Structure 1
Amino acid sequence: MQKVLRDKIIEVCNKKIAAKGTNVGISFYAFFKNKNDNPELLMEAATWWIKTHELDHFEKAVKIKALVQ
């Protein structure tokens, strides 16, 4: 996983956890804007989420953060 993606995932997870608590769920779309301005990075995140870890659409932010770290 590219460092830029890893850093973005940790940043988003930290913000979501701080705002909504440890039970907050996220999907890999949370790491991107509402437009597809970086399709390579989006596909990397989707592959990591869906194929590599076989995660559900929504997962706990604390779980995702732990997997990335």
Structure 2
Amino acid sequence: MRKALKEKIIEVCHRKIEQKGTNVGLSFYAFFANKNDDPELLMEAATWWILTEKLDHFEKAEKIKKLVSKL
């Protein structure tokens, strides 16, 4: 996973946890704008989320942050 994507995921998870609490759930789309301006990065995130980690559509932000921090 690219360093920039890893940092973005951790930052978004941290922000969402601060806003909505430790029980907040996210999908990998939470790390991107509503427009598809970087399809390669989106596919990298989707591949990691779906194929590598085999995560459900929505997962707890705390769980995602821990998984990405280990990379």
Which category of TM-score, normalised to the shorter sequence, fits these structures? over 0.9
Identity %: 75
Deviation >3 Å, runs of 4+: none
Shift in Å, 1:16: 0.3
Q: TM-score, normalised by structure 2?
A: 0.97
Q: CA deviation at 1:54?
A: 0.4
Deviations 1:18-59 (A, max 9, x none): 000000000000000000000000000000000000000000
| Partner residue, 1:18 | 18
Task: Tell me the TM-score normalised to structure 1 length.
Answer: 0.99
| Structure 2: runs of 5 or more not aligned | none
Q: Cα offset for 1:11?
A: 0.4
1:35 paired with 2:35, answer yes
One-letter amino acid matched to 1:8: K
> How large is the Cα RMSD of the aligned pairs?
0.2
Q: Aligned AA for 1:39?
A: P
Match of 1:5 in 2: 5
* Paired residue total: 69
Counterpart of 1:58 in structure 2 is 58
Query: Aligned equivalents of 1:5 and 1:15: distance in 2?
Result: 15
